[in-house]
Structure 1
Amino acid sequence: MGTQRLFIIAPSLAHLMRKERGGERVREGYFPDQPQRGTYVQVEETRSNLILEVGESAAPDEQADLPLAHAQTLLAVSQGQVEYVRTKLSISSHEIQALHFVRPGALDLVVIAGAPEDGQDVPPLPWFGPEVSIEPAYQRRRLALDGVPDAPEVDATNAAFNSLLDLLEDRLTTWPQPHESTGSDEPAVSASPLPDALGPMPETEADQEGDDLGIEDAVIRELARALQPRERG
């Protein structure tokens, strides 16, 4: 079974996603924790469900459809609730869900749904903030029952905006991989010698500096000779 990776994102980026792609409002009501399982009701715009969480088990969560009236009754008696706007995006086979929480407090998260457990083929995108996948406080159950934790602020950089715009404007067809660093922003230069047919290698700045110093030394020596007193015959 795949896992979900969870990241905090900047509110301005979340706002841009909702403006460009819209979103679906979701309400969830959670009931008290039970050993190895939990129960909550979920009300979306077109359906409502009662969902049984199976904890650390590899089995998927079980869910049953509910009439809206029954779901709203369960929401009213639940121990804690969350309400958020969910915006779905995708890159190739990977689904991204941006969650803008309005209840119990303001928080913006992004979820990579169904990410492989090792996560090696889905490195964080430039607009992702800190990863909180293994922090229980950011799971929806804990948000509903315990409230919103003190989340770190995330800056919206130019690189983050450009990366998100590439996604929103459908310029990303595959998940970008991290570039191998060469220690410089400039491309690495091959150390192989150029063929003779291309002519002599151009002088480097160091070579030119060495030649200039050699010429300067020769001029100084000639001036020194000229200034020496001539021997009388």
Structure 2
Amino acid sequence: MTVRRRFLLASSLARLIQRERGGLRQIEGFFPEQRDRSSWVRLEENRALLILKTAGPNGEAEEQTEVPVGHAHALLDVCAGEIDYTRTKLRIGDREVLIDQFNRPRDLHFITVEFDSEAEGRGFHPLPWFGPEITAEARYSNQAIALRGVEQYQDAPLSDEALNGLLDTLENRFPDQPRSAINRPAKQRAVSKAPAGPASGDGRTAQVNLDDIEAAMMAEMERTLQKGRPD
């Protein structure tokens, strides 16, 4: 059983992560809701998956079956709702963190952390750059966003602590977690345009220096804070 915790992420930090690490564009189409199960098709780079999630006495179980890409496109045409997002994977110690930047149905920025058990999930300490936790808010699930959209959404707050915390993460410096083995994350390859399209306009993963990123982010953060100050 996979347990997930989801957090908001400041849009500026999400752009910084994608600029430094790239990402893979994914499209998911959801079929109409059922009481004890949900199903959807996911298109990512050159493969497609049909996914079924069922609820039982021991929690939720998820099964995936690979399908031909052409079949996935046909299924997307008959789905009840779609989402389109770019996913970047980071490592925090031996834990994988998923950064999702939604393009459709609207701009949204999330952090999702996956665990093998409820106990592991409870023992995880969010990092300083994580925004408010939204795990219990059903409206922020991928299915709810695809089928019903998000009417009200407030970007996570941006602060010096959040920026410095993210820079520490990108340089593999982490606060203590229950499990602390550290693996250097590999640079991710941006998706090609077919079928799901590139994560950025030129289809390449940018090579940048963290000092340059920090300077640019400090300037952007100052502009953001200035907008919130009274004249």
Q: Normalized against structure 1, the TM-score is what?
A: 0.71
The change in CA–CA distance for 1:173 and 1:33 in structure 2 (over 3 A counts) is: same
| Greater percentage in strand | 2
Any residues of structure 2 matched to 1:218-233 within 5 Å, and which?
none
Residue 3 of structure 1 aligns with an amino acid whose one-letter code is: V
| Alignment check: 8 A CA contact 2:53 2:60 kept | no
State the 1:175 CA deviation: 3.2
**1:50 counterpart = 2:61:** no
Aligned to 2:59, what secondary structure does the other structure show? coil
Figure out how many residues of one structure are paired with residues of the other and give that number. 177
Post-superposition shift, 1:138? 0.2
1:113 Cα deviation after fit: 1.3
Partners of 1:91 and 1:121 in 2: CA distance: 14
Deviation string 1:160-217 (CA, Å, 9 cap, x unpaired) is 011101111122385399xxxxxxxxxxxxxxxxxxxxxxxxxxxxxxxxxxxxxxxx
Which amino acid is 2:161 matched to? A
Q: CA deviation at 1:150?
A: 1.2
Q: Determine the structure 1 residue equivalent to 2:152.
A: 150
Residues 79-228 of structure 1: pairs in structure 2 closer than 5 A = 79-114=80-115, 116-118=117-119, 119-172=121-174, 174-175=176-177
Name the counterpart of 2:40.
40
User: Which amino acid letter does the alignment assign opposite residue 31 of structure 2?
Assistant: F
Q: Flag structure 1 segments of 5+ consecutive residues without an equivalent.
A: 178-233
Percent sequence identity over aligned pairs = 40
Larger gyration radius, structure 1 or structure 2 = 1
CA RMSD, aligned part only?
A: 1.9
- In the TM superposition, residue 39 of structure 1 has moved relative to its aligned partner by 1.1
1:6 is matched with 6
Contact 2:86 2:102 in 1 (8 A): yes
Q: Which runs of 5+ in 2 are unaligned?
A: 180-231
Note if contact 2:30-2:41 (Cα within 8 Å) is conserved in structure 1: yes
Q: Secondary structure at the match of 1:49?
A: strand
Range 53-62 or range 40-49, more displaced: 53-62
Q: List 4+ stretches of structure 1 deviating above 4 A.
A: none
Considering Cα pairs closer than 8 Å and 6+ residues apart, tell me whether 1 or 2 has the greater RCO.
Answer: 2
> Post-superposition shift, 1:151?
2.0
Change (3 A) 1:115 1:63: closer
Contact 1:96-1:112 at 8 Å conserved across structures:
yes
Q: Do the aligned residues in 1 keep the contact of 2:127 with 2:175 (CA within 8 Å)?
A: no
Aligned residue for 2:30? Answer: 30
| 1:18 Cα deviation from its structure 2 partner | 0.1
Once the 2 structures are TM-superposed, how far is the Cα of residue 51 of structure 1 from its aligned partner?
Answer: 0.7
Tell me, in whole angstroms, the C-alpha distance in 1 between the residues paired with 2:69 and 2:176.
Answer: 39
Residue identity matched to 2:39: T
For the residue of structure 2 that corresponds to 1:101, the secondary structure is: strand
C-alpha distance in 2 between matches for 1:162 and 1:83: 29
Question: Following the alignment from structure 2 to structure 1, what is the Cα–Cα distance between the partners of residues 138 and 29?
Answer: 17
Kept in 1, the 8 Å contact 2:85–2:100? The answer is yes
Counterpart secondary structure, 1:153: coil
Deviation at 1:112, TM superposition (A): 0.8
User: 2:66 aligns to what?
Assistant: 65
